[in-house]
Amino acid sequence: MAGSTFGNIFKITTWGESHGEGIGVVVDGCPAGLEISEEYIQTYLDRRKPGQSGYTTQRKEDDTVKILSGVFEGRTTGTPISMIVYNKTQRSSDYSEIAGYYRPGHADYTFDEKYGFRDYRGGGRSSGRETIGRVAAGAIACKLLSELGITVAAYAKSIGDVEIDYNNFDIRERDNNPVAMPDMQASKRAEELLKEKMAKKDSVGGIVECVVKNMKTGIGEPVFDKLDACLAKAVMSIGAVKGVEIGAGFKVSEMSGSENNDNFYMENDRVMKRTNNAGGILGGISDGSDIVLRAAFKPTPSIFREQETINRNHENIKVEIKGRHDPIIVPRAVVVVEAMTALTVSDLLLLSMTSTMDRIKKLFID
């Protein structure tokens, strides 16, 4: 299987299946001397682990990370950083019956068509547990960015038709409620919606918004490796994401040029913009303002009501899916969007170090 490696300089390779021995990641290209610990990485993994509320799968996993290489005496050595999280509560019997049919909304059918067989125990590589490696690596990327004063913060912007009110925005509230919304009032309405859908054996989707603050200018490679193009690929690679927008996003199609253009002005010798419809990126290159992106997540496909599908013999059947599943993906996916954003920005930032002779001279001569 190709496609498990992401990045150019700050490069990661994830591995493992949802019901195998464990899930892991190898991070290559991280500069030496970055302060990293298992405890720090664990704070990120704890935000995505299951069983933390009634709105997530009740699979109880500690998701405890172990660093196997690349860190010595609390600092990165410049060599590959290998990390693993062991799976401890696999219940593969919950999935034994789906070996013979294709779950609606899942990758069962396409995996069978591509490879001729599949790991049906929870989806294998297409399972949400694959994102453990992304989050562990993303934690390191966030640490690297923080050394440069850059912060990456994601949160649930909407769940179903419940959307946050920016007048009530408080990023600290995101970690105080089970739906990861930075608006206490909206989170309560979202919980009521989830209870209603769960009672009907149904699920909902939502939108995760991510903001990169204190972004440096000049990051991103024109043409095929534009910053926004790379961000879109990174976030779209998350299993349940069906759409990505940056800045004003799809709303730009309704604007006139005079409305959409972000006018520049000077303030205290700094280049500023009156608006940020571009989402901090012009021509595929960061302009120094906040990067704002959004990811649309589909409803959890594993619902407990009867559905129509086909079996491997291509016969029409009806099924009721069993197992331990999230009624909504969004709250646990917030940190995954954060991780993929940080990985992308870190990689392109390191790549930009060689974009001018002045930068190269400063690195090796000054």
Sequence-separated contacts (24+) of 301-309 with Cβ below 8 Å: 301/103, 301/104, 301/105, 301/106, 301/203, 302/103, 302/105, 302/106, 302/203, 302/326, 303/201, 303/202, 303/203, 304/201, 305/200, 305/201, 305/202, 307/104, 308/104, 309/101, 309/102, 309/103, 309/104
Contact 263, 274 (CB under 8 A): yes
> What residue has token string 């009907």?
200
Q: What's the farthest any 2 CA atoms get from each other in the chain?
A: 71
Cα separation, 269 vs 164, whole angstroms: 35
**Closest to 232 in 3D by CA, of 275, 277, 279, 276:** 279
Only one residue has tokens 């070996």, namely 99
Question: Considering the entire predicted model, what is its pTM?
Answer: 0.93
Dihedral of the alpha carbons of 250, 247, 245, 3, in degrees to the nearest 10 = 150
Question: Chain-wide mean pLDDT for the chain?
Answer: 91
Residues 245-284: tens digit of each pLDDT: 999 999 999 999 999 999 999 999 999 999 999 999 999 9
Is residue 353 over pLDDT 60? yes
> With contact defined as beta carbons under 8 Å apart, do 169 and 183 qualify?
yes
Confidence category of residue 112, pLDDT binned at 50, 70, 90 = confident
What does the pLDDT read at residue 301?
Answer: 87
- The candidate with the shortest Cα–Cα distance to 211, out of 286, 132, 268, 155, is 155
- Does residue 136 contact residue 12 with C-beta atoms inside 8 Å? no
Record the tokens describing residue 299, joined without a space: 């409803």
Q: How far is CA 273 from CA 82, 200, 214, 278, 347, in A?
A: 41, 47, 14, 10, 26
The reported pLDDT for the residue numbered 104 is 87
51 contact partners, CB below 8 Å, separation of at least 6 = 57, 58, 59, 60, 61
The pLDDT value given to residue 345: 98
Per DSSP bridges, beta strands 22-28 and 81-86 are antiparallel
Convert the pLDDT of each residue in 187-227 to its tens digit: 999 999 999 999 898 999 999 999 999 999 999 999 999 99
Task: Provide the Cα torsion 252, 253, 256, 258; round to 10°.
Answer: 20
Whether the per-residue pLDDT at 96 is higher than 80: the answer is no
| pLDDT over 90, % of the chain | 71
Helix (H) or strand (E) holding 272: strand 270-273
pLDDT of residue 118: 74
Residue 60 is predicted with a pLDDT of 65
Would you state the pLDDT for residue 323? 65
Q: At what angle do helices 38-48 and 330-351 cross, to 10 degrees?
A: 130
Tens digits of residue pLDDT in 19-74: 888 999 999 999 999 999 999 999 999 999 876 666 666 556 789 999 999 999 99
Q: Name which of 209, 202, 233 is nearest 155 in CA terms.
A: 209
Question: Do 127 and 17 contact (CB within 8 A), yes or no?
Answer: yes
In angstroms, how far is CA 366 from the centroid of its own chain?
38
- Per-residue pLDDT tens for 312-346? 899 999 988 776 567 789 999 999 999 999 999 99
How many beta carbons lie within 10 A of that of residue 166, not counting itself? 9
